[in-house]
Amino acid sequence: MIDSHCHLDHDPLFQNLNDIILRSKDMGIEKILTICTTIESFKNILNIVKTDRIIYGTFGIHPHETNKNIVTKKNIVKEISFNKKIIGVGETGLDFYYNNSDKDSQLKSFKKHIEAAIELDMPIIVHSRGAENETFELLKNNNNLKILMHCFTGSSSFADQLMPLGAYFSASGIITFKNSSDLQDTFKEIPLDKLLIETDSPFLAPVPMRGKKNEPSYIKYTLRKLAEIKKIDESELDKITTNNFNNLFF
Ligand SMILES: [Zn+2]
Ligand SMILES: [Zn+2]
């Protein structure tokens, strides 16, 4: 299994990094991608990717943080080119549900990340909440942009728009929640070769761990649920999602 999206620089994961990595390996996790959200946190990401061979990282500014973290395409390209274990651009995107940063700064930042991802020829990790039209408008018309929709919770019509762009869709613990039947239906429609799995830990612990702090080893519950939704064998879906990650990032 591969956890395609988590935040190991957040506590309690960061405080317990060695145990978290050991438990992940015991669970059969072969790679973990820890996602950057601010300029400042990138220093921690660089330290964390050094601690173990299974850990990779990204550089990017979360849409919640774009008021305080202004980046240019050049900044992004430079930070990422420095280190071989930094393999993606993000997380970026648009969050008009919380609007923790103003819309204009989110839009500007997202555009810079898109330009950088194209120049680097690396996947862009997209967070989208309450902003389906705006997200699609910015993602379309970019040839050669490798799109990963992280923690996908969008509508089925949004998924339909994104599929022709070659987007990958990552399922989080949200698919295990009781009230997620619409989302489960959307995942039924997404082709197997475009699916990834993630924990988004320490947030969004899946059932039956809901209420606890999430960690990468809980990825198995999301894999199990997605296998049930796709009506295929869990070990088969493990192989498929692992291959998908490796095809997208390597
Ligand atoms: Zn996110
Ligand atoms: Zn995230």
> Mind listing the pLDDT tens digit for each residue in 157-211?
999 999 999 999 999 999 999 999 999 999 999 999 999 999 999 999 999 999 9
Residue with tokens 């649920």: 225
- Closest of 239, 155, 154, 153 to residue 204, by C-alpha: 153
Percentage of the chain modeled with pLDDT above 70: 100
* Mean pLDDT value across residues 135-152: 96
CA–centroid distance, 200 to ligand 2, in Å, is: 5
* Res. 244 pLDDT band, cuts 50 70 90: very high
Please report, for the chain, how many H helices and E strands are present, in that order: 9, 8
CA–centroid distance, 221 to ligand 1, in Å, is: 19
Strand runs (DSSP E) across 86-224, as ranges? Answer: 86-95, 124-129, 147-149, 168-171, 195-197
The protein residues having their C-beta less than 5 angstroms from ligand 1 (an ion) are: 127
CA–centroid distance, 151 to ligand 1, in Å, is: 7
Q: What is the pLDDT, as a whole number, of residue 89?
A: 98
